[in-house]
Amino acid sequence: MPHPSLLLAAAEETSRGDGPGWLLRTVIIVGVVGAALLAWFLLRGYGNQD
């Protein structure tokens, strides 16, 4: 496994373009993961209805 700072440097090098690309990508990923966790949390109780 490469050192984390090496991975960060590689990610920074690839995202040199203009605009909020990396920030928007991060917000979208966090939003999708958060929505999936929220759906799992809200729906997990419905399977135990006796």
Tens of pLDDT, residues 4-38: 676 677 666 665 666 678 889 899 999 999 999 99
Helix, coil or strand: residue 25 = helix
Hey, is 18 helix, strand or coil? coil
Domain boundaries, the chain: 17-50
pLDDT of residue 50: 56
Q: Which of 32, 30, 28 is nearest to 20 (CA)?
A: 28
Per the CB < 8 A criterion, the answer to whether 15 and 22 are in contact is yes
pTM of the model: 0.54
- Phi and psi at 16, nearest 5°, equal -80, -5
* Mean pLDDT calculated for residue range 33-47: 90
Spatial separation of the C-alpha atoms in residues 17 and 11, rounded to whole Å: 12
